[in-house]
Amino acid sequence: MVSTLSAWILSIAGIVLLSVLVELILPAGSMSKYIKGIFAFLIMFVILSPIPKLLNQNIDISSWFESQTIKVDEDYLEELNYDKMLKLQSELQSEISSFGYQNVEVYISCNIFDNTFIVESVNVDLTKLVITENAEHTNIVKIKQHISQIIKNHINIGEDEIFYE
């Protein structure tokens, strides 16, 4: 009990001495007020620190400053994944169009509510396909193979996950 009391008195004296030294070193000004306020708070904290021990209660001050568990904003995540999906669809349609296959619609299927953006399947609608002069292929089988290769260059997806209409 005596060692605890002497440690408490010594810590009060130490923080008061430190605050006096800092006050002497710092020039007068607006910053001086803030530093005096901080040291006043520290002195009050040191003076009041043995009260929980006197009341036989273990109060964990660090628990006051710990953050709670991190929660994902699901609305933001949904919107972000939805935007990624639309952008990827647009990029694929644009690239397919640049190879001479016009009016090809690409629909990506993914779970936009998940933390990670993973494409589950891709549906390619060729019902309105227009083959232009600069197209590499005119055979529908070769066109599907070429479009599948374009999709695989953008997305890590298997051949069995690409469907054509």
pLDDT of residue 22: 83
2 pLDDT band, cuts 50/70/90, is: low
Q: What are the residues facing 130 on neighbouring strands?
A: 102
Tell me the CA distances in angstroms from 132 to 2, 48, 93, 103, 136, one per residue in order.
95, 83, 15, 11, 9
16 pLDDT band, cuts 50/70/90, is: confident
69 pLDDT band, cuts 50/70/90, is: low
Residue owning tokens 């054509």: 164
Q: Could you give the domains of the chain?
A: 2-65 (no CATH), 74-164 (3.30.300.30)
pLDDT of residue 48: 84
Between 68 and 153, name the one with better pLDDT: 153
The CA R_g of the chain, rounded to the nearest whole Å, is 34
42 pLDDT band, cuts 50/70/90, is: confident
